[in-house]
Structure 1
């Protein structure tokens, strides 16, 4: 069995840096419900699109400007550089209940971990993937927002116990939460594995988990009443505050990063991230890193036949069989994929990363899940 440990202990090099604002935003609106149109003039924070799920957060303009183009994938805003912003919403004064949940959702917060009653609230304080140091950065520098976010989460969930899962050996804390140190190794940063590590149970009832980045956003919304319009990204060893929708091309030019022909640019992380299809592609809220991989560093993924080596099964923390699930997904036999544990997959990416045949296992799994979701929505409609 191949045993490789992937460290998540990525201490920030310095304070969070601000990125020069772009002249154009390309905001991803795929699978969202569009709430604006070409020619519309937007202020910073104006609603752009709503999430189709009952819990997903809405999408807003990170900068003011005019909508120049709209297609299936993205909405292009030509930024004006004006200072006009939307009026803040006083969420801090709202009582616990559906009104507050709806207001947070409309301000861009994913409220799925904030509904109902929780006996245990777990804060995932580990960096999401190797090479990304955003979580540790926010634990070090985002004290005010994290405290406000935790107050809001506890107001909604009324947990009996609140636990901050932090890298073992790190002296970090959030007032109101007990700190538990766990292994800073990937894939132990996945929510399900973090919960198991701190509760000693798999998928315990009445337990909610929220990561540090989302808790920070929740706190900022509570303090300012303004929507979520930016993300934090680890780029070339430093953490930047980046407006959502900023084109990759702008990031490369602003930071003077060199890209050679054949290189791959990945948004997210090395395991779960996605390679971009264009330098004009804009970053999303959940993109916590950007990586440039040279053409000769990692063998190219290909639609090769499975070798039946079993390495993906040995690596899988969910204890499913990625080689079988991906085969069924490849041939659009989605019911069989579900039967073999498709919905138990954490999408950690270890199977694809360690596949000797270089098959796109994670991509097949995500494709199957997306097709099943689309079919379900179509049936309901």
Structure 2
């Protein structure tokens, strides 16, 4: 948000509002400004319960967009934790329309969609869900989040796509588009398949004819049966530098939480090395126990409570816990082994959770004497 404001591309105001509803909001407002370096946008707070908004949500769940007459254009754009960079493209598509007096787009990047009419010859794909990667000139780049082309993208007519309610990305196994797998606008190829047909006309991701390719494509979405310690295929590897960076965790100033974060990191390292269902079950238990303890501390010390659940930091934090746990549970139902793509996603999300969510309670709980 601060970058948009600094660039000056959009003729609008960017506001970050602390909604605690009392004078303590001032301190949190200043802390937020310092942490996020909010030097170009408007940073404010609501200091009285009487002035609290009657609707809304926290920024981690997306942006609220108003037009020049202060009418609501969007009550909530796509959440970053679900669709990553596409969340920003969603906002930009709306701002481009509002600031240039253009009609609002029927469909924006990052929105959940369903393939209502599959391309000719690919009827088996009809009904599968995905994310809008790009919508332009009556064409939609459709990134699959489930089905046989999960993690791949096809280009289809706009009329073939139906917008869905805000997505739950854990409906599918393994890699979807949330990690950016198909968000770069390029065809995703199965290992060893060579060149594919163009994305135009819905051809991207069609099975190739090379021997063994079909089996490799199946393993990429259902979990490879190879030994991760010896397999040399690129899609089966998790880069050691990435693992080191993802599990280099910041302190949250509460000793028990820091200790449990390290326990979770240890379990995740074992998952990198084995990619087995048994170790993923260990990861699930470790995360579940940690999240439950963390939420118990929130209750004990009163972190993030709010009469409006949509404005509750405690509620949004707990929802993120459930999203991550559901992601793991869904993968456990997909087969005996765990794809490297899923492992990378999980490590990235655990890192982002500790650095984006958990640091928000650090000073509060430490100040209350939480151990």
Q: Which structure would you say has the larger RCO, counting Cα contacts within 8 Å and 6 or more residues apart?
A: 1
Give TM-score scaled by structure 2 length.
0.25
Query: What is the TM-score with the length of structure 1 in the denominator?
Result: 0.25
Select the structure of larger CA radius of gyration: 2
